[in-house]
Chains A and B, each alone.
Chain A
Amino acid sequence: DAGVTQSPTHLIKTRGQHVTLRCSPISGHKSVSWYQQVLGQGPQFIFQYYEKEERGRGNFPDRFSARQFPNYSSELNVNALLLGDSALYLCASSPVGTYNEQFFGPGTRLTVL
Protein backbone atom coordinates (compact mmCIF):
# COMPACT_ATOMS: atom_id res chain seq x y z
CA ASP A 1 0.00 0.00 0.00
CA ALA A 2 1.18 3.51 -0.78
CA GLY A 3 2.07 5.69 2.15
CA VAL A 4 1.24 9.34 2.67
CA THR A 5 2.31 11.43 -0.28
CA GLN A 6 3.11 15.12 -0.30
CA SER A 7 3.90 17.63 -3.02
CA PRO A 8 6.02 19.44 -3.83
CA THR A 9 9.15 18.02 -2.20
CA HIS A 10 10.95 21.32 -2.06
CA LEU A 11 9.81 24.88 -2.56
CA ILE A 12 11.54 28.25 -2.54
CA LYS A 13 9.47 31.40 -2.11
CA THR A 14 10.11 35.02 -1.25
CA ARG A 15 8.66 37.01 1.61
CA GLY A 16 5.08 38.10 1.06
CA GLN A 17 4.22 35.33 -1.37
CA HIS A 18 1.73 32.57 -0.69
CA VAL A 19 2.18 28.83 -0.95
CA THR A 20 -0.05 25.76 -1.28
CA LEU A 21 1.13 22.37 -0.07
CA ARG A 22 -0.68 19.15 -0.90
CA CYS A 23 -1.12 15.84 0.85
CA SER A 24 -2.76 12.52 0.01
CA PRO A 25 -3.40 10.21 2.97
CA ILE A 26 -2.98 6.47 3.14
CA SER A 27 -5.92 4.74 1.47
CA GLY A 28 -8.73 4.30 3.98
CA HIS A 29 -7.47 7.00 6.35
CA LYS A 30 -9.96 9.81 6.85
CA SER A 31 -7.98 12.05 9.18
CA VAL A 32 -5.18 14.34 8.03
CA SER A 33 -3.01 16.50 10.25
CA TRP A 34 -0.43 19.13 9.38
CA TYR A 35 2.72 19.87 11.35
CA GLN A 36 5.54 22.37 11.00
CA GLN A 37 9.04 21.29 11.93
CA VAL A 38 11.71 23.93 12.28
CA LEU A 39 15.29 22.69 12.17
CA GLY A 40 16.39 21.25 15.49
CA GLN A 41 12.91 21.08 17.01
CA GLY A 42 10.08 18.59 17.16
CA PRO A 43 7.06 18.98 14.85
CA GLN A 44 4.45 21.54 15.91
CA PHE A 45 0.75 20.85 15.33
CA ILE A 46 -0.97 23.18 12.86
CA PHE A 47 -4.30 21.61 11.87
CA GLN A 48 -6.28 18.41 11.93
CA TYR A 49 -9.06 17.58 9.51
CA TYR A 50 -11.45 14.66 9.85
CA GLU A 51 -14.30 13.95 7.47
CA LYS A 52 -13.58 17.26 5.71
CA GLU A 53 -14.07 19.34 8.85
CA GLU A 54 -11.45 21.16 10.90
CA ARG A 55 -11.20 19.36 14.23
CA GLY A 56 -8.22 21.06 15.75
CA ARG A 57 -5.95 24.03 15.27
CA GLY A 58 -2.59 24.78 16.79
CA ASN A 59 -1.15 28.12 17.81
CA PHE A 60 -0.53 29.48 14.32
CA PRO A 61 -1.64 32.81 12.83
CA ASP A 62 -4.58 33.18 10.46
CA ARG A 63 -2.13 33.28 7.56
CA PHE A 64 -2.25 29.51 7.81
CA SER A 65 -5.34 27.77 6.47
CA ALA A 66 -6.20 24.32 5.25
CA ARG A 67 -8.97 22.24 3.81
CA GLN A 68 -9.79 18.61 3.15
CA PHE A 69 -11.43 17.34 0.00
CA PRO A 70 -14.08 14.60 -0.49
CA ASN A 71 -11.30 12.11 -1.35
CA TYR A 72 -9.65 12.99 2.01
CA SER A 73 -6.64 14.69 0.42
CA SER A 74 -5.73 18.01 1.93
CA GLU A 75 -4.13 21.36 1.16
CA LEU A 76 -2.25 23.68 3.49
CA ASN A 77 -2.13 27.31 2.46
CA VAL A 78 0.18 29.93 3.90
CA ASN A 79 -0.24 33.60 2.94
CA ALA A 80 2.12 36.55 3.33
CA LEU A 81 5.14 34.32 3.88
CA LEU A 82 7.71 35.32 6.48
CA LEU A 83 11.30 34.18 6.80
CA GLY A 84 10.27 32.30 9.93
CA ASP A 85 7.91 30.12 7.91
CA SER A 86 10.93 28.30 6.50
CA ALA A 87 10.51 24.74 7.75
CA LEU A 88 9.66 21.16 6.90
CA TYR A 89 5.90 20.84 6.57
CA LEU A 90 4.66 17.39 7.44
CA CYS A 91 1.34 15.79 6.70
CA ALA A 92 0.19 12.81 8.73
CA SER A 93 -2.77 10.53 8.21
CA SER A 94 -4.45 8.29 10.74
CA PRO A 95 -7.10 5.60 10.58
CA VAL A 96 -10.35 5.76 12.49
CA GLY A 97 -10.98 3.75 15.64
CA THR A 98 -7.38 2.97 16.53
CA TYR A 99 -4.98 4.30 19.09
CA ASN A 100 -4.51 7.32 16.91
CA GLU A 101 -1.26 6.37 15.30
CA GLN A 102 -0.28 9.03 12.84
CA PHE A 103 1.83 8.15 9.82
CA PHE A 104 3.88 10.90 8.25
CA GLY A 105 4.54 11.70 4.65
CA PRO A 106 8.00 12.68 3.36
CA GLY A 107 7.31 16.38 3.98
CA THR A 108 7.67 19.55 1.94
CA ARG A 109 10.80 21.61 2.59
CA LEU A 110 9.81 25.29 2.31
CA THR A 111 12.49 27.95 2.12
CA VAL A 112 11.45 31.60 2.33
CA LEU A 113 14.02 34.12 1.10
Chain B
Amino acid sequence: QKEVEQNSGPLSVPEGAIASLNCTYSDRGSQSFFWYRQYSGKSPELIMFIYSNGDKEDGRFTAQLNKASQYVSLLIRDSQPSDSATYLCAVFNAGGTSYGKLTFGQGTILTVHP
Protein backbone atom coordinates (compact mmCIF):
# COMPACT_ATOMS: atom_id res chain seq x y z
CA GLN B 1 0.00 0.00 0.00
CA LYS B 2 1.33 3.41 -0.95
CA GLU B 3 1.75 5.88 1.90
CA VAL B 4 -0.28 8.56 0.12
CA GLU B 5 -2.67 7.75 -2.70
CA GLN B 6 -4.65 10.14 -4.85
CA ASN B 7 -7.63 9.43 -7.06
CA SER B 8 -6.50 8.40 -10.46
CA GLY B 9 -6.83 10.93 -13.19
CA PRO B 10 -6.88 12.70 -15.32
CA LEU B 11 -9.95 14.57 -14.13
CA SER B 12 -11.82 16.74 -16.60
CA VAL B 13 -14.54 19.19 -15.57
CA PRO B 14 -16.35 21.98 -17.42
CA GLU B 15 -15.71 25.59 -16.53
CA GLY B 16 -17.82 26.67 -13.57
CA ALA B 17 -18.20 23.15 -12.15
CA ILE B 18 -16.89 21.77 -8.86
CA ALA B 19 -13.70 19.71 -9.08
CA SER B 20 -13.23 17.11 -6.35
CA LEU B 21 -9.77 15.74 -5.60
CA ASN B 22 -9.27 12.94 -3.11
CA CYS B 23 -6.38 11.54 -1.13
CA THR B 24 -5.91 8.74 1.41
CA TYR B 25 -2.94 8.15 3.66
CA SER B 26 -1.67 5.17 5.61
CA ASP B 27 0.14 6.66 8.65
CA ARG B 28 -2.36 7.45 11.42
CA GLY B 29 0.31 9.56 13.14
CA SER B 30 0.35 12.06 10.30
CA GLN B 31 -0.11 15.54 11.65
CA SER B 32 -0.84 17.99 8.88
CA PHE B 33 -1.98 17.79 5.31
CA PHE B 34 -1.23 19.94 2.32
CA TRP B 35 -2.48 20.54 -1.18
CA TYR B 36 -0.06 21.82 -3.78
CA ARG B 37 -0.76 22.88 -7.34
CA GLN B 38 1.89 22.26 -9.97
CA TYR B 39 1.74 23.69 -13.46
CA SER B 40 3.64 21.85 -16.17
CA GLY B 41 7.36 22.55 -15.90
CA LYS B 42 6.99 24.51 -12.67
CA SER B 43 7.51 23.75 -9.01
CA PRO B 44 4.69 22.93 -6.56
CA GLU B 45 2.78 25.90 -5.16
CA LEU B 46 1.11 25.60 -1.75
CA ILE B 47 -2.66 26.10 -1.98
CA MET B 48 -3.92 25.05 1.43
CA PHE B 49 -3.08 23.10 4.53
CA ILE B 50 -5.33 21.52 7.15
CA TYR B 51 -4.52 19.85 10.44
CA SER B 52 -7.81 19.29 12.26
CA ASN B 53 -10.89 17.32 11.29
CA GLY B 54 -13.52 19.15 9.31
CA ASP B 55 -13.54 21.70 6.54
CA LYS B 56 -11.30 24.65 5.85
CA GLU B 57 -12.28 27.18 3.22
CA ASP B 58 -10.13 29.69 1.37
CA GLY B 59 -11.82 31.47 -1.50
CA ARG B 60 -12.89 28.91 -4.09
CA PHE B 61 -10.95 26.14 -2.36
CA THR B 62 -12.19 23.89 0.47
CA ALA B 63 -10.02 21.27 2.13
CA GLN B 64 -11.68 18.48 4.09
CA LEU B 65 -9.98 16.18 6.58
CA ASN B 66 -11.28 12.99 8.19
CA LYS B 67 -8.57 11.45 10.33
CA ALA B 68 -10.68 8.43 11.31
CA SER B 69 -11.01 7.51 7.64
CA GLN B 70 -7.49 8.78 6.84
CA TYR B 71 -8.94 10.84 4.04
CA VAL B 72 -8.24 14.32 2.73
CA SER B 73 -9.99 16.08 -0.10
CA LEU B 74 -9.85 19.34 -2.00
CA LEU B 75 -12.88 20.92 -3.61
CA ILE B 76 -12.47 23.65 -6.19
CA ARG B 77 -15.68 25.61 -6.79
CA ASP B 78 -16.39 27.58 -9.96
CA SER B 79 -13.47 25.87 -11.71
CA GLN B 80 -11.58 28.02 -14.20
CA PRO B 81 -9.33 26.98 -17.11
CA SER B 82 -6.44 28.50 -15.12
CA ASP B 83 -7.03 25.80 -12.48
CA SER B 84 -5.83 23.19 -15.00
CA ALA B 85 -2.74 21.69 -13.37
CA THR B 86 -1.49 18.69 -11.40
CA TYR B 87 -2.69 18.69 -7.80
CA LEU B 88 -0.45 17.07 -5.23
CA CYS B 89 -1.60 15.84 -1.85
CA ALA B 90 1.14 15.82 0.80
CA VAL B 91 1.19 14.48 4.35
CA PHE B 92 3.53 15.76 7.05
CA ASN B 93 5.15 13.38 9.52
CA ALA B 94 7.25 14.93 12.24
CA GLY B 95 10.70 13.68 13.09
CA GLY B 96 10.79 16.08 16.02
CA THR B 97 9.64 19.56 16.98
CA SER B 98 9.39 21.80 13.94
CA TYR B 99 10.87 19.41 11.44
CA GLY B 100 9.86 16.34 9.50
CA LYS B 101 9.12 15.26 5.97
CA LEU B 102 6.38 15.63 3.45
CA THR B 103 5.20 12.48 1.70
CA PHE B 104 3.48 13.19 -1.59
CA GLY B 105 0.91 11.34 -3.61
CA GLN B 106 1.46 10.78 -7.29
CA GLY B 107 -0.70 13.75 -8.24
CA THR B 108 -3.99 14.15 -10.07
CA ILE B 109 -4.08 15.99 -13.37
CA LEU B 110 -7.06 18.35 -13.56
CA THR B 111 -8.27 19.83 -16.83
CA VAL B 112 -10.97 22.51 -16.82
CA HIS B 113 -12.42 22.94 -20.29
CA PRO B 114 -14.31 26.06 -21.43
Instruction: Please list the residues of chain A having a beta carbon within 8 angstroms of any beta carbon in chain B.
Output: 31, 33, 35, 40-45, 48, 50, 55-56, 58, 88, 90, 92, 94, 96-97, 99-107
Contact = CB atoms under 8 A, between A and B. Distances in A.
Nearest to A92: B102
Given A43-B44, A43-B104, A45-B101, A100 B32 contact: yes
B107 A100 contact: no
A101 B46 contact: yes
B107 A41 contact: yes
Among A50, A100, A106: residue with most chain B CB under 10 A = A100
B43 A56 contact: no
Contacts of A33: 101-102
A104 B43 contact: yes
Contact of A48 (B4, B34, B95): B95
Q: Is the interface of B mostly helix, strand, loop or mixed?
A: strand
B29 interface: no
B109 to A, nearest CB: 10
A103 B46 contact: yes
Nearest to B105: A42
Interface in B73-114: 88, 90, 92, 94-96, 98-107
B49 interface: yes
